[in-house]
Structure 1
Amino acid sequence: MTAHLIRGHQALRASAARAAAATRSERGDVPGWVLITLMTAALVVGLWAIAGDQLQTIFEDALSGVTGPDDPR
């Protein structure tokens, strides 16, 4: 009976150690997320610099299409 309890205890500790190792490895890759964020910001700034006027025109046209023409008063 004692040997059975020892084996059960060892199996439980091994399972807990595997769960703890899996938790540590699932925390995420912080430098990877930082890189993705910086690259996304760079793309937005680049598009804004290249096509800012065109994007503003498209946005204003879309808004005027929804709200109607300006009030002529």
Structure 2
Amino acid sequence: MPKPTKPNQPTKNSYVANADGWTAGEWRAKGSPLELTEEQAKYENVTLVPKEPAKAAPAKGSAAKK
């Protein structure tokens, strides 16, 4: 008899709250991190955190001149 398989668990992603207020059943400050599935995030005021942080541009005049 085959072993029962586990149902696939939805993947949770990192998000941040866009404003102070109730998000996913808790009071959160703007910018607070939280983990949600894509389905949950559809109904919340959140922004997906990028997988790789964007590289910052060097400040103007920071390069050494020869």
Q: Which has the higher helix share?
A: 1
Q: Which structure ranks higher in relative contact order (CA pairs < 8 Å, sequence separation ≥ 6)?
A: 2
Q: Give the TM-score band, short-chain normalised.
A: under 0.3
Greater percentage in strand:
2
- With normalisation by structure 1, the TM-score equals 0.26
TM-score (norm 2): 0.27
Greater radius of gyration (CA): 1
